[in-house]
Amino acid sequence: MLLTGLTASLAPVQAAQAATTSSSNKAKAKTTARKAKPAPRSPRKVAARAAVREVIPAKPSFGQMYGLHDTEDPLDLKSSVAYVVDQDTNEVLFSKNPSAVLPIASITKLMTALLVVEANQSMDEKLTISDDDKDTEKFTGSRLAVGTTLTRGELLHLALMSSENRAAHALGRSYPGGLEAFVAAMNAKARLLGMNDTHYVEPTGLSSRNQSSASDLAKLVKVAHSFPLLRELSTSPEYTVELGRRMVRFGTTNGLVRKSDWDIGLQKTGFINEAGQCLVMQAQLAGRKLIMVFLDSAGKYSRIGDAERVRKWLTGTTSPLAGATATAVSLTPAITAK
């Protein structure tokens, strides 16, 4: 009886303990379920996601496609095309693939500016950025919103110093006869200057069909340098214009104009993927006026680095300016971009 009574008295306790244990096990099961690692992903899904995250390589430049970067030179330049010539004597001091015809990007704007100045159009006339000035080639943006009104002189300044595409397009569009007449004038001027490897299709350089050679561009730089306004605007380090209710500062695309060890008389930079990094300059070194052209340089700062390498060489003990033999590296036959 005692055993029976004890068993009976323990039954409720055991039932409660069983219930507690059951609840505890369920809680542990839920916790375990929450901490459980997810099932392994399908190898195909993993590979697909990795492919999406993979960085797509930049589109190769024309110079890279034509193998121009395989051309070795004594200065180990990163530009596949380089050309240095004495402005006064036309003596070629350095030459690397000078006849290769490649896209020239915003170097195009130097011809645009030259035509605007030669046309004697008023620099005070106000021009308004329109939808026609938007980039339909590369779909780049601009700080010059549609409806912005600036003088022709201000647009010219921004086109040369900051490489503003809408500014350059508006300059071409406002030329007598319109944009079509302007492009025709660009090509006519190129023929007149003996730039026989040069062709333009628009005034900004966004199109890869704007093409030229280093030797041709040296001729353009020489003529452009004869205009004081182009010298002044292209070498300006910064410029502030009124855009609506705001004063907006624009800066140069060529940091060398800020450096005290450079005496630059005229410059223009350019870049699109097809052209690589480009730079043309007129600069005074070792008492001589020189024209430098660097095309299809690989790397964001490589065109600046190449200019510094050339300057160091020209002011060093092995410089042709000191009587040494000039270095010349040419590609034979010349590569022509189609």
**What is the secondary structure of 142-193 as a DSSP string?**
-SS-TT-EEEHHHHHHHHHHS--HHHHHHHHHTSTTHHHHHHHHHHHHHHHT
Select which of 61, 95, 163, 297 is catalytic: 163
**Token pair recorded at residue 110:** 């130097």
What does the chain come to in residues?
Answer: 338
CA distances from 122 to 117, 151, 171, 227, 228 (A): 9, 9, 11, 16, 16
Closest CA to 290 of 23, 88, 76, 68: 88
Beta-carbon contacts of 15 under 8 Å, excluding residues fewer than 6 positions away, are none
How many angstroms separate the most distant Cα atoms in the chain?
130
Q: Which amino acid is at 200?
A: Y
Residue 130 a catalytic site member: no
Handedness of CA 8, 10, 14, 17 (dihedral sign): positive
Provide the 10 A C-beta neighbour count for residue 78: 20
CA atoms within 13 A on the CB side of 91: 13
Residue 142 a catalytic site member: no
Residue 61 a catalytic site member: no
Select which of 78, 96, 109, 219 is catalytic: 109
* CA 136 – CA 134 distance, rounded (Å): 6
Beta-carbon contacts of 281 under 8 Å, excluding residues fewer than 6 positions away, are 221, 254, 256, 264, 266, 267, 268, 291, 292, 307
Provide the 10 A C-beta neighbour count for residue 241: 18
| Residues carrying an active site annotation | 106, 109, 163
